[in-house]
Amino acid sequence: MYQINIAKLTDKTVHFFWDPVTRRTFIKKGAAGLLSIVAVGGGSTIFAYPDGTKVALAKGVIVADQSLCSGCRICEAVCCSRNMSEGRNSGALSRIILEKNYLSGDYEQNVCFQCSQPLCLDACPTDPRALHVDQKSGTYARDIDPDLCIGCEQCIEACEEVFKLPRPRYDPEYDVCIKCHLCHGDPQCVKFCPYGALHYKTSESGLKTGYPYI
């Protein structure tokens, strides 16, 4: 019951399930933008944008099991509590978003997939990019540097192109965007989930998850 089945993904499973996106992306970046997935060294794959920016695959990703979720939103609470400055706790500043139908009871943990081809990163207009690959912690998560971020929300719009619910969020108090950075290798939502509905999967050779795979 995983949302993502990593084992079944191969290099060639590229789905374009939402036409407008494909078209828009093509227009913006040209065909090469989508197809330049190249293998480098020992199996790790790097995606390169036409402007030369290379994006390594993330080495970790959070996967969610809806069947075990109780909809308690501890994941949201702990994400915010552990990551926001000044001890701010809020549902609107969580980097994992729990959608819940409160009458019929369908839960959906919307985690950041740390996309192989991160549209958010591509959209980031600053130079150097505020949205960068977190190499320091070794997770290769797509992280936002708050010192560089200008709060333009273009990453949010880019994510919204493919995912109904954009994963990066806007923090109005500091005028910056925030997004899941896998807590630099120790995701707190996974640690605190009382039912084991969230898992942290890692691979040294990189994981092909998110856009364009799912």
Partner 1 sequence: MADTFGWVGKILRVDLSERKTDEVPTDNYAPQFLGGRGLGAKIYWEAVTPEVGVFDRRNVLILATGPLQGTLAPTSGRFMVLGKAPQTGPVESYNRSGVGGHWAPELKWAGFDALAIQGKAEKPIYLWIHDGKAEFKDASHLWGLDTYQTQTEIWKTHGNKSRAMVIGRAGENLSRIACILTDSGDASGQCGFGGVMGSKNLKAIVVRGTGSVRVAKPDKLADITRSIHHLFARKPASNDPFKPAQAGFKYNIWGGKPRGALTLFYGELLDLCNNPTSGYTQIPDGCYACPIACRTRVKGPDITNGVALCAQSFMYMESLVLQPEKGYSKITWQAAKLADLYGINAYDLMAIIPWLGDCYREGVLTEKETDLPLSKIGSWEFIEKLLRKIAYREGIGDLLAEGGQRAAGKLGEKAQQLSEFYYPRGGKFGGYREHWAFLGGFPSGFAIPQLALMWVLDTRDVFTSHNFISQIWGAADTIVQNENNAVPDDLIPILKPVMKYAYGSEEAAEFFSRDRKKLNWKWAPQVVKRAHERAILKDSYVVCDIAFPYVFNANSKDHVGDTSLESQLFSAVTGHELTEAASYQKGDMLCTLERAIAVRDGRTRKDDVLRDKYHETADAADRKYERADLEKAKDQYYQLRGWDVATGIPKRQTLEKHGLKDVAEELQRRKIF
Q: How far apart are CA 154 and CA 157, in angstroms?
A: 5
Q: What are the φ and ψ backbone dihedral angles of 97, each rounded to 5 degrees?
A: -120, 120
Under 8 Å CB-to-CB from 89, ≥6 apart: which residues? 77, 80, 81
Minimum distance between the CB of residue 147 and partner 1, rounded to whole angstroms? 21
Shortest distance (Å) from residue 143 CB to partner 1: 20
Question: Closest distance between partner 1 and the C-beta of residue 204, in Å?
Answer: 21
Residue whose CB is less far from partner 1, 129 or 179:
179
- Taking the least distance from each CB to partner 1, the nearer of 22 and 90 is 90
Q: Check if the beta carbon of residue 211 is closer than 8 Å to that of residue 113.
A: yes
Q: Which is nearer to partner 1, 84 or 149 (CB)?
A: 84
3-state secondary structure of 133: strand
Q: How far is the CB of 93 from partner 1 (least distance, A)?
A: 6
Closer by beta carbon to partner 1, 22 or else 146 = 146
Footprint of partner 1 on this chain (CB under 8 A)?
65, 67-68, 70-74, 77-78, 80-82, 84, 86-93, 101-105, 172-173, 188, 190-199
Contact between 168 and 179 (Cβ < 8 Å): yes
- Which residue lies nearer to partner 1 by CB, 20 or 172? 172
CB of 164 to partner 1, least distance (A): 13
Single-letter amino acid code for the residue at 57: L
CA angle (141 as vertex; 49, 203 as ends), nearest 5: 100
